[in-house]
């Protein structure tokens, strides 16, 4: 386990060694991968929406607690814009707080109503969003930190057209609370660059899809390992619901249907349902058969290895890049965010 050379407001806020967060991952973000990144010194979030009910979530939280030996881990609260789809969110928060969880990531829509419940229970909330405007609203609502993602993010980056670093540079002029950036980050150089930009850390997802602990079929991981920077594409932008995903037959079919005029989610039948992805791709290994959230950072994956190895390599490479950068300037003194 490497010691981190980086201390930021995020490592302090989350009580972690590395300024690295593994964001929520629908149907994959459970105790196995979350415990693995937490034990490696980063932060991970169990994705509440993926569980069939609060009892199932509670038992996975208990499993994670047993696996992490007292280290803090988090819960992701993915909010939906569909009417009625957020009815369990309050119960997720109460179950998590009762199980000792103090770190929450919200995403998907405004965190209004969550902040008080989490703060009253002694927890903290980082809100993930794709635009500076949403970040400023969340800051006003009292969230403790922001995860700002760019258009390269695997999953749902919204209709924002800005890259992670451009978004981050704009945000750092305006946001006062701790800020991490994410989207397209898959190697250590980029982590060093995010810290050089002034961010307090990074949020990642795609690069960890090949971790041994991820509960997806090896055929999918091998496909990602064999892929490159062109591994992802955007679908559903024509519906105002941009989704960055693995290039496969299912994604191409969705794009053909959009080109043919499909404009409602229902037009795509079960092709875009996460239940289909979970069954066909994650469980059965049919890598063409469903939509898989993935961004170009997946192109950095070069082997199916434990998450701890990914974290260690990322942080080692980040430290080398930061040292190289600091060495270019006479004024870069020890004690700065970069290692001496
Ligand atoms: C397979 C997969 C599933 C994801 N599911 C969710 C989710 O359910 N909720 C959420 O807030 N973010 C989700 N994300 C986004 C990640 O938490 C993270 O913000 C994103 O992966 C960062 O961008 P990157 O993929 O370019 O590293 C998912 C990402 C991936 C790759």
Our answer on whether the CB atom of 23 is closer than 6 Å to any ligand 1 atom is yes
Our answer on whether the CB atom of 153 is closer than 6 Å to any ligand 1 atom is yes
Question: Is the residue at 223 inside a domain?
Answer: no
Our answer on whether the CB atom of 106 is closer than 6 Å to any ligand 1 atom is no
Distance from C-alpha of 320 to C-alpha of 339, rounded to nearest angstrom: 9
For residue 54, is pLDDT > 70? yes
Question: Is the residue at 221 inside a domain?
Answer: no
Q: What is the DSSP letter of 274?
A: H
Question: Is the residue at 240 inside a domain?
Answer: no
Q: How much is the pLDDT for 199?
A: 98
Please tell me whether residue 155 adopts helix, strand or coil conformation: strand
- Per residue in 141-182, pLDDT (tens digit) is 999 999 999 999 999 998 899 999 999 999 999 999 999 999
Question: Is the residue at 124 inside a domain?
Answer: yes
Question: Is the residue at 325 inside a domain?
Answer: no
Number of domains forming the structure of the chain: 1
DSSP bridge pairs for 143:
none
- Residue numbers of the domain that contains 205: 9-215
Output the CA 280–ligand 1 centroid distance in Å.
19
Q: What are phi and psi of 204, to 5 degrees?
A: -130, 165
Using CB atoms within 10 Å of the CB of residue 136, give its burial: 0 to 12 exposed, 13 to 18 middle, 19+ buried. middle
Contact present, 130 and 148 (Cβ < 8 Å): yes
Contact present, 153 and 164 (Cβ < 8 Å): yes
Q: Please state whether beta strands 201-204 and 20-22 pair in parallel, antiparallel, or not at all (unpaired).
A: parallel
CB within 8 A of 173, min separation 6: which ones? none
Distance from C-alpha of 162 to C-alpha of 196, rounded to nearest angstrom: 19
Residue range 271-287: mean pLDDT, rounded? 98
Atom of ligand 1 nearest to the CA of 296: 26
Q: How much is the pLDDT for 5?
A: 80
User: Shortest CA distance to 208 belongs to which of 38, 12, 6, 4?
Assistant: 38
Atom of ligand 1 nearest to the CA of 206: 25
Contact present, 146 and 165 (Cβ < 8 Å): no
For residue 319, is pLDDT > 50? yes
Q: How much is the pLDDT for 329?
A: 78
Question: Is the residue at 249 inside a domain?
Answer: no
Question: Is the residue at 32 inside a domain?
Answer: yes
Our answer on whether the CB atom of 126 is closer than 6 Å to any ligand 1 atom is no
pLDDT band, very low/low/confident/very high, at 332 (cuts 50, 70, 90): low
Output the CA 15–ligand 1 centroid distance in Å.
22
Question: Is the residue at 179 inside a domain?
Answer: yes
Residue range 308-329: mean pLDDT, rounded? 94
Our answer on whether the CB atom of 78 is closer than 6 Å to any ligand 1 atom is yes
Q: What is the DSSP string of 49-84?
A: GGSSSHHHHHHHHHHHHHHHTT---EEEEE--SSTT
For residue 338, is pLDDT > 50? no
Output the CA 230–ligand 1 centroid distance in Å.
18
Q: How much is the pLDDT for 333?
A: 57
CATH number of the domain within which 86 lies: 3.20.20.70
């Amino acid at each position: 386990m490497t010691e981190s050379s980086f201390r930021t407001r995020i490592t302090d806020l989350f009580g972690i060694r590395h300024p690295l967060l593994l964001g929520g991952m629908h149907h994959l973000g459970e105790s196995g991968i979350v415990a693995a990144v937490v034990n490696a010194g980063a932060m991970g979030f169990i994705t509440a929406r993926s569980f069939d009910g609060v009892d199932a979530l509670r038992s996975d939280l208990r499993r994670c607690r047993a696996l992490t030996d007292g280290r803090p881990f988090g819960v992701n609260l993915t909010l939906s814009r569909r009417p009625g789809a957020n009815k369990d969110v309050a119960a997720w928060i109460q179950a998590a707080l009762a199980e000792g969880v103090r770190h929450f990531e919200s995403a998907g829509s405004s965190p209004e109503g969550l902040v008080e419940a989490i703060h009253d229970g002694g927890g903290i909330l980082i809100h993930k969003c794709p635009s500076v405007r949403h970040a400023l609203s969340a800051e006003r609502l009292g969230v403790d930190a922001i995860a700002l993602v760019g258009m390269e993010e695997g999953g749902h980056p919204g209709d924002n057209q800005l890259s992670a670093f451009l978004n981050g540079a704009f945000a750092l002029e305006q946001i006062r609370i701790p800020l991490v950036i994410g989207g397209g980050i898959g190697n250590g150089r980029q982590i060093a660059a995010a810290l050089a930009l002034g961010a307090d850390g990074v949020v990642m997802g795609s690069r960890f899809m090949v971790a041994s602990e991820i509960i997806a079929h090896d055929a999918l991981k091998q496909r990602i390992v064999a892929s490159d920077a062109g591994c992802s594409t955007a679908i559903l932008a024509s519906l105002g619901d941009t989704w960055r995903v693995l290039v496969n037959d299912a994604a191409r079919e969705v794009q053909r249907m959009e080109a043919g005029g499909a404009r409602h989610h229902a037009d795509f039948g079960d092709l875009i349902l996460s239940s289909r992805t979970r069954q066909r791709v994650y469980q059965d290994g049919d890598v063409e058969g469903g939509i898989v959230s993935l961004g170009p950072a997946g192109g950095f994956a070069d082997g199916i290895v434990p998450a701890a190895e990914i974290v260690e390599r990322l942080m080692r490479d980040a430290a080398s890049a930061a040292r190289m950068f600091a060495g270019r300037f006479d004024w870069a003194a020890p004690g700065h965010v970069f290692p001496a």
